[in-house]
Structure 1
Amino acid sequence: MLYVQRLIAVLIIAIPGVIATYGWAVMRDVIFNNFGSGQPFEIWKFIGGLILFAGGLAFIGGWYIRRERRKQENQRR
């Protein structure tokens, strides 16, 4: 039972990581394709990639902060 819980926890963290990676790849492709061709900048595709990247990164960051506060390992400044 413990292995199943750990597998689910890894999947919960891995899926937003994959989403953030895909968002980064979309933004990178939009920027590099713009330099290679004379087409206009695809702003909506870039914004979509930015939303995916920021959302995945925010989820992972929020999970990490919550974990640290729950374990009380962070130091107050």
Structure 2
Amino acid sequence: MGRLIALLILLIPGALAAAGIKLMRDTFFGILINPFQILWIQGLTGMIFFGVGLYLLGGFILYRDKKRNLVSTRFRKNEDDQ
């Protein structure tokens, strides 16, 4: 059950980042999608979607690796920080 929840947690930000890439690609080629009125707003929205999706995906992976102690010393918690 835990693996299924982890998969869902990874799929949602991944889909958000993929949608952001699609919006930026369509902006680059000049294809305007229906809810957007101006091309640069579509591109900005795509950049925001991609950034948020990548941030959430990377944060989840870093959190998981911190729990398993698989990160470098820079990311490990000190004994004094607790």
TM-score (norm 1): 0.78
Q: List gaps (5 residues or longer) in structure 1.
A: 35-40
2:60 pairs with 1:66: no
Equivalences, count = 68
Measure, in 2, the Cα distance between the counterparts of 1:75 and 1:46: 35
- Residues 29-72 of structure 1: per-residue CA shift (max 9 Å, x gap): 101127xxxxxx71111010111000000000001111111111
Which structure is higher in helix share?
Answer: 1
Identity %: 35
User: Cα RMSD between the aligned structures?
Assistant: 1.6
Structure 2: state its 5+ residue gaps.
32-37, 75-82
Runs of 4+ aligned residues of structure 1 deviating over 2 Å after TM superposition are: none
CA contact (8 A) 2:30 2:39 kept: no
- Report the counterpart of residue 25 of structure 2 in structure 1: 28
